[in-house]
Chain A
């Protein structure tokens, strides 16, 4: 029992070490993949650093920059920026209205005209005349600045999420993009019809503020509504820095999250491993296409290991001609997966045949190690004693299977990358629609999300298989101890 506990403790320790390895692997892969793709990045992502952003720009910085541009007479880009920032920029520009020159003040008031129309405040007479517009915005901020507070908006959004109300909706519309963080946060998960109604109200207001068409119709199912919500979440990860301020701890966090790697990580965690270039969630694609790959991998592991151990044991005890034949087949199978798969593929697109071929190749790989282990055991004392008592070589091999198969079991983790490659080749050769075809397409289209998900998941799978095979090894053979503590315990 204590040995089992020790094995589990060691497995847990190694499991924790897997996390930094995963981060390292994903960071190196992301760096490589994103080097040439900065120009293709969405939104302002192209200007972002890859791993560390010492100066993440928030709505405050952007609004201040727009004001600076207005002061310098560059009103056109400033107006464009202010319209995009919307209501979220008002707490940062309107208190500074008096610090501007009269000309810049008029420019600012006129630039905010489209925002006011979106917020449904002010009249056309007030917004079209520069002097009246300045007066309007001054008065607006005096009377309404109290509404631009987190607690107020959070309460308004919560009430709208709870119950439909035209008045509440209008209250939030008047806050424009300032309410977006709270609206996106309140969208949450969609599982029931009640959730659909809730996110329908929230997305309607968000779509108005952000000028996006992502709304939910009355007849939408929970799955359709969830897809729209995920679209919002994805957009929010890419654009949230335009509508929020980074203060204190948020600024520190933004130094990591407002990077290309940070955005990919956030998207992967929040939106089912991100989305492919075609807009399909990576996790959905993995579920859809991964079944064939997993089936082939399972057949390779189970069928290949069982038959490989049996073949290896048999080839260790049979006479030389048979042994040579087995060895020749094993070398041919092990060294030539692509050719074999290619030859077999002429039989048609059959997943079971593909599984049979991958299992045969795995068996060939395993049988070589098993044969060597069985032979080594046969030359040791206990086996010699059994032989002296009249046991046949095959019986000796069978009696020693637990000890001799340790070497083959220890290969489980190390061989998994080879098996994945083998399964991918089998899929391609047999024309099966598994993960291989998606990966080839991802390479062609430079699909970072898919490739990163593949890298992380395969690394995780290999690490887990390695830990599992080592644990199995310890439990199978009590002489083996893996890990520093066990080494101390076992002389």
Chain B
């Protein structure tokens, strides 16, 4: 791991720690700059985590269902992707926020989960369809591996690496998007980095929030750089006993 990646991982770990600590204790809750910054960090990190934790597994599930579940599910997913792909994120969030009774983080969460789950589903579907014709999958089918086991043990481990990269990209996108929505006054209620950016009064918090948005997105981009992301899930794949696609299934099962 290069120094840049170590620093990126360290920064993200620190942010997670700060966010967790800020849920328990914040120094000077009377609105001081440090307290606001900590609360904003907690807000943004928790929102990003929530989006990733919900959207990515949901996207993987939808992608598997679309690839293996028949034309109806595939068609439905394709329409969903068309909808979320054609709508700018800001318009999607505006529509979702207008459709909930009160402005809430839940509205934003729904919009972002829909956006990123369908993007992940599209990726997983494509990867699985590509893998479907691979020799090792043909071999597993010929050996009589049932479809569920084939998907779980032979196909899914191979899509986890690109999914991990997508998750990191999505986290960076959520941070940037949250900041953008904060400027537009469409962000979640409560303090986030976007809310600090929207607060135009020049203060330490404003510049710190700008720096944090910059550092976090840059760190996530560095981490999801292809060489870093590639191979993250190889140990898991080995443990599940799947066949490595790189060696064309020669290693055996």
B179 and A339 form a contact (CB under 8 A): yes
Q: How many residues of A contact B (CB 8 A)?
A: 45
Q: Which of B90, B101, B213, B217 contacts A420 (CB 8 A)?
A: B90
B83 and A32 form a contact (CB under 8 A): no
- Shortest beta-carbon distance, A416 to chain B, in Å? 8
B99 and A339 form a contact (CB under 8 A): no
A6 at the interface (CB under 8 A from B): no
Chain A window 33-48, contacts with chain B (Cβ cutoff 8 Å), 1 for yes, 0 for no: 1011000000000000
Residues of chain B with a CB closer than 8 A to A25's CB: 82-83, 86-87
Residues of chain A with a CB closer than 8 A to B218's CB: 331-332, 335
Residues of chain B with a CB closer than 8 A to A79's CB: none
A428 and B221 form a contact (CB under 8 A): no
B88 at the interface (CB under 8 A from A): yes
Residues of chain A with a CB closer than 8 A to B79's CB: 21, 24
Tell me, in angstroms, the Cα distance from A21 to B81 when the chains sit together: 11
Residues of chain A with a CB closer than 8 A to B139's CB: none
B95 and A421 form a contact (CB under 8 A): no
Tell me, in angstroms, the Cα distance from A21 to B83 when the chains sit together: 8
A29 at the interface (CB under 8 A from B): yes
Chain B window 157-188, contacts with chain A (Cβ cutoff 8 Å), 1 for yes, 0 for no: 00000000000000010001101101111100
Least CB separation from A466: chain B residue: B86
Could you list 5 further interchain pairs (A-B, Cβ under 8 angstroms) beyond the known A36-B99, A417-B89, A428-B184? A422-B180, A439-B90, A443-B98, A443-B186, A458-B86
Contact status of A440 and B194, CB under 8 A, knowing A29-B95, A331-B218, A451-B98: no
Determine the main DSSP class of A at the interface with B: helix
Tell me, in angstroms, the Cα distance from A443 to B214 when the chains sit together: 28
Q: Which of B100, B101, B176, B184 contacts A440 (CB 8 A)?
A: B184
Residues of chain A with a CB closer than 8 A to B194's CB: 338
A463 and B86 form a contact (CB under 8 A): yes
B179 and A32 form a contact (CB under 8 A): no
A337 at the interface (CB under 8 A from B): yes
Tell me, in angstroms, the Cα distance from A290 to B94 when the chains sit together: 17
B98 and A424 form a contact (CB under 8 A): no
B210 at the interface (CB under 8 A from A): yes
A228 at the interface (CB under 8 A from B): no
A417 and B86 form a contact (CB under 8 A): yes
B98 and A33 form a contact (CB under 8 A): yes
Residues of chain A with a CB closer than 8 A to B186's CB: 440, 443
Residues of chain B with a CB closer than 8 A to A451's CB: 94-95, 98
B91 at the interface (CB under 8 A from A): yes
Determine the main DSSP class of B at the interface with A: helix
Residues of chain B with a CB closer than 8 A to A442's CB: 94, 98
Q: Which of A331, A339, A448, A462 contacts B197 (CB 8 A)?
A: A339
A283 at the interface (CB under 8 A from B): no
A440 and B185 form a contact (CB under 8 A): yes
B10 at the interface (CB under 8 A from A): no
Tell me, in angstroms, the Cα distance from A341 to B184 when the chains sit together: 12
A28 at the interface (CB under 8 A from B): yes
Q: Which of A32, A336, A417, A428 contacts B95 (CB 8 A)?
A: A32
Residues of chain B with a CB closer than 8 A to A440's CB: 94, 184-186
B88 and A24 form a contact (CB under 8 A): no
B180 and A337 form a contact (CB under 8 A): yes
Residues of chain B with a CB closer than 8 A to A425's CB: 90, 180, 183-184
A335 and B89 form a contact (CB under 8 A): no
Residues of chain A with a CB closer than 8 A to B197's CB: 338-339, 342
B176 and A335 form a contact (CB under 8 A): yes
Chain B window 184-228, contacts with chain A (Cβ cutoff 8 Å), 1 for yes, 0 for no: 111000000010010000000000001001100110010000000
